[in-house]
Structure 1
Amino acid sequence: MSTGNVSVVLVHGAWADGSSWSKVVERLKARGISAVAAPLPLTSLHDDVAALNRTLERIEGPVVLAGHAYAGAVIGSTRADNVKALVYVAALAPAEGETVGDVFYRGDAHPLAPKLSPDQHGLIWLPEEAFVAAFAQNATVQELTVLGAVQRPISVSCIGEPVGRPLWTDRPSWFLSAEQDRMISPDTQHFMAQRMKARVHSHQVDHTPIVTAPDIVTDVIVEAVQAVSAR
């Protein structure tokens, strides 16, 4: 498999950190693809995009940028020249002028979706029971233990900031639609992917396939890498 000098940058979503991508990193490495997980502070969309840009500045050559969940808004907001393709994994893709909240709350919530509210610091934590009920219902007990232990809260500032012209209007994009998602409605995912004109891969996976179905996620990312390297 020829992947040229294309690198992959992986971006975590809310209530997670870079370790959520560990299985995908291992699988990409096995296929000869270099991957870096970008750390986000989750303090505001502006701060998160700035943090992603700092990671992208360190990468030489073309990049395929992949984001999970909330990180879809982050990867769509960078303007880095070295980003040649975008991969959305059960991710949010607000259009120009929209906020993360606009698309997250667009459809009816799943009956098992958690009720979210900020604490006194303006931070939103995911209730422990929500990890098994909605965030990663297909995960093992061990995986759920780690997800809960490393969760990072997301600031309300992240979800209320309108985005500018998203990068997916100018770059090819792929979208892994999670049909068992209890956090982001599959109907909302289909809506976003369609208006993005993304290349859609629909699978019976939960909201966090980067943990529970890493082979599927890796295959989609590799497809994007091959498309970039073939140019």
Structure 2
Amino acid sequence: MRRTLTNIAAGLLAAASAVSAGPAVARGATEPASKAAAVRNVVLVHGAFADGSGWRGVYNDLTERGYRVTVVQNPLTSLADDVAATRRALDRQDGPAILVGHSWGGTVITEAGEHHLVAGLVYVAALSPDAGETTAQQYDGYTNPPEFVIETAADGFGYIKPDGFKAGFAGDANNADAAFLRDSQVPIRMSAFGEKLTTAAWRSRPSWAVIATDDKAFDQRMLDAMAKRIGARVTKVKASHAVFLTQHEIVADVIDAAARGAFATTPSR
């Protein structure tokens, strides 16, 4: 079955009340890491339809700068499951960390980011709902580019339509990289977009945002509005939704800036 993301979001909104009736996502400690410690840890959280391998360029760049980098592998089966995977990674850190999310990963870090070791958040072409909101609600009032089309299987998991993958997800990637991303897609259970968040870490942690100006997964106005609402320090770059892969140097620079500035910055909403 083929549906645009707009239609999918509308359908998920109708189901949100049923989803939110399920068990709440477990919350960790909410106090931020000690300001006496330097931030040398980075935790990277991928989004839907991709896995952690796309972070390789960012990983290489940051490790060369002396950071300890952990890449989360989300199961993409529910918000609660992805938050749990991220919290497991945070529990293994040896000090304060910058938590980074791409796309759907932004929703995940928003919920998981009140972990006591999180010093700051970086949203890379990412969603940032508030507590009590769903991911699907973020699309209200916006028009999604026609290039980004999701096919939803009978079991409720969604994939990006293969013949439109490069145009919709990775327009500035070379053909080989785009093909690898397309053929290694990790489907997401579409009902996850209808799950309500219980907390919004951007209300208590400083935030940074990377906005790709050629992103075909989101309306640009939506990206701007989300970044403004959370008080993020914004970096705009000419890139596709796969900015984490195609412009990994710039993404790494923003993460580095966040690590250096997390304890000198307070949320600005």
Question: Please, which of 115, 119, 122 is the counterpart of residue 87 of structure 1?
Answer: 122
1:142 aligns to what?
Answer: 176
Distance 1:108-1:5 versus aligned 2 partners, 3 A rule: closer
Kept in 2: contact 1:68–1:90 (CA 8 A):
yes
1:169 aligns to what?
Answer: 203
1:13 aligns with 2:47: yes
Question: Please, which of 51, 61, 78 is the counterpart of residue 44 of structure 1?
Answer: 78
Q: Residue 125 of structure 1 aligns to a residue in which SS?
A: strand
Structure 1 segments, 4+ long, off by >6 Å, are none
User: Deviation digits for residues 130-149 of structure 1, max 9, x if unmatched?
Assistant: 32111010000111121012
Q: Residue 57 of structure 2 aligns to a residue in which SS?
A: helix
Question: Please, which of 98, 102, 107 is the counterpart of residue 133 of structure 2?
Answer: 98
Q: Residue 80 of structure 1 aligns to a residue in which SS?
A: coil
The alpha carbon displacement at 1:118 in A equals 2.1
Give the Cα–Cα distance (whole angstroms) in 2 for the partners of residues 199 and 45 of structure 1.
26
1:33 aligns to what?
Answer: 67
Q: Residue 177 of structure 1 aligns to a residue in which SS?
A: strand
Kept in 2: contact 1:6–1:228 (CA 8 A):
no
1:110 aligns with 2:110: no
Give the Cα–Cα distance (whole angstroms) in 1 for the partners of residues 69 and 140 of structure 2.
31
Q: Which structure is larger by alpha-carbon Rg, 1 or 2? A: 2
Q: Which runs of 5+ in 2 are unaligned?
A: 1-36
Give the Cα–Cα distance (whole angstroms) in 2 for the partners of residues 76 and 125 of structure 1.
23
TM-score (norm 2): 0.81
Kept in 1: contact 2:39–2:259 (CA 8 A):
no
Distance 1:217-1:162 versus aligned 2 partners, 3 A rule: same
Kept in 1: contact 2:101–2:123 (CA 8 A):
yes
The one-letter code matched in structure 2 to 1:24 is V
Give the Cα–Cα distance (whole angstroms) in 2 for the partners of residues 109 and 229 of structure 1.
36
Give the Cα–Cα distance (whole angstroms) in 1 for the partners of residues 68 and 207 of structure 2.
19
Give the Cα–Cα distance (whole angstroms) in 2 for the partners of residues 126 and 43 of structure 1.
16
Kept in 1: contact 2:39–2:98 (CA 8 A):
no
The alpha carbon displacement at 1:189 in A equals 0.6
Equivalenced residue count is 228
2:224 aligns to what?
Answer: 190
Kept in 1: contact 2:38–2:96 (CA 8 A):
no
Give the Cα–Cα distance (whole angstroms) in 2 for the partners of residues 140 and 24 of structure 1.
17
The one-letter code matched in structure 2 to 1:226 is R
Distance 1:106-1:212 versus aligned 2 partners, 3 A rule: farther
User: Deviation digits for residues 182-227 of structure 1, max 9, x if unmatched?
Assistant: 0011110100000101111112111111111111111110100111
Q: Which moved more, 1:139-148 or 1:63-72?
A: 139-148
Give the Cα–Cα distance (whole angstroms) in 2 for the partners of residues 131 and 31 of structure 1.
33
1:54-69 equivalent positions in 2, closer than 5 A: 54-69=88-103
Give the Cα–Cα distance (whole angstroms) in 2 for the partners of residues 186 and 141 of structure 1.
25
User: Deviation digits for residues 6-57 of structure 1, max 9, x if unmatched?
Assistant: 2000000000001010110001111111111111000000111011111111
Give the Cα–Cα distance (whole angstroms) in 2 for the partners of residues 42 and 138 of structure 1.
25
